[in-house]
Amino acid sequence: MDLEFTSFQNPKILECAVIITDKDLNEIQRKEWVVHFDEETISELGEWHQNAFKDIDDGGNGL
């Protein structure tokens, strides 16, 4: 499981990703979820978040 948070001071989950494997670590299933926030909350995120989560065309990951 991987979680992406808004910050350490006031953490809110932005994204959750899970990969299920068997005992030999062969992937069985994967799923990810992105939590929706309003524009005001997103605009208050730090510079790292602004760069990482911008559109893919702008060099971000598209979240």
Q: Which of 4, 9, 18 is nearest to 49 (CA)?
A: 4
Question: Would you say residue 26 has pLDDT above 90?
Answer: yes
Q: Tokens 């992937």 correspond to what residue?
A: 27
pLDDT of residue 62: 65
Question: Would you say residue 20 has pLDDT above 90?
Answer: yes
**pLDDT tens-digit readout, 29-52:** 999 998 888 888 878 888 888 777
Average pLDDT score, the chain: 86
